Amino acid sequence: MPFIILKDRYNHMLILRGKRGGWESTGGGKEKRDKDDLAAAKREFFEESGARFPENLVESIKKLHLRTSQGTRVLFVAHLQAGHKIEDLPGFRENKDSPRGGPIPGGHNRWRHEDCNHWAALSIEEILNNPDKFPFRNGFFRQQYVEAAKVSPPGGGHHCVETNLPLRDDDTDRQEAMCPECARSGVQKQCFPGRNYCGLDCGRAAKRRRLSHAGSAKRRRRH
């Protein structure tokens, strides 16, 4: 499942507000017509933002592999060439209600209702320092932007660099608790804020352990 974050030389990153609540990156499932993960991410970019991916203005693309409890996810970080801003790109410049943000009108997809209804171009500081205004849809999207903020544009040339990058607890907000199941097993990864467990696997493992302990206690009482 590939995702892509567009970033300019002013360290602003494109972020979208989903209709299901919370802010997220563009991305989603790979379809048969997509020749590779990057093609799928570019298609999703248009479907969710309403803007065409700016092929001719992108200087470089870096590919990250983020490991989660649901498996590995691919994240592309695309840097715009110097002198270009996200808010000035076609599809965004004509849809503004603030200097670096605005509505996504919709109607550009073959289906009736798009997934996202608002866009913004923000720095990582603006996002993380305003959690009430820009709450992430879940912790995985938060980690995407934390990692994308660390990626610097290369010296030049349009190329794609690939990096394996696990989610590490030391990259997350220290106030964000680790899932108790992950902490028990020693796995170092971020958990979704506001949830007891970071995924179904952890929740089910914890439930199996509770049932096992309850069964053992019941057998001891019988004896």
Query: How confident is the model over 84-136, as pLDDT tens digits?
Result: 999 999 999 999 999 999 999 876 665 555 678 999 999 999 999 999 999 99
- Are 17 and 127 in contact, with CB atoms under 8 Å apart? no
- Looking at per-residue pLDDT, the higher value among 82 and 221 belongs to 82
Range 164-178 average pLDDT: 38
Provide the 3-class DSSP secondary structure of residue 214. helix
Q: What is the identity of the amino acid at 151?
A: V
Where residue 59 falls among pLDDT bands split at 50, 70, 90?
Answer: very high
Contacts of 9 (CB under 8 A, 6+ apart): 79, 80, 81, 82, 83, 84, 153
What's the rounded Cα separation, in Å, for the pair 14 and 24?
Answer: 9
- Which amino acid, residue 134? F
Q: Which residue ranges form the domains of the chain, and what is each CATH number? A: 2-167 (3.90.79.10), 172-223 (no CATH)
pTM exceeds 0.85 for this model: no
Inform me whether the pLDDT recorded for 186 exceeds 80: no
The CA distances from residue 59 to 25, 77, 103, 155, 187, in Å, are: 19, 11, 26, 9, 36
Residue 214 has pLDDT above 90, yes or no: no
The more confident residue out of 214 and 64 is 64
Of 135, 134, 116, 96, give the one whose Cα is nearest residue 49: 116
Q: How confident is the model at residue 99, as a pLDDT?
A: 94
Mean pLDDT across the chain, nearest whole number? 79
Percent of the chain with pLDDT over 70: 69
pLDDT at 105: 83
Range with the lowest mean pLDDT among 45-54, 68-77, 95-104?
68-77
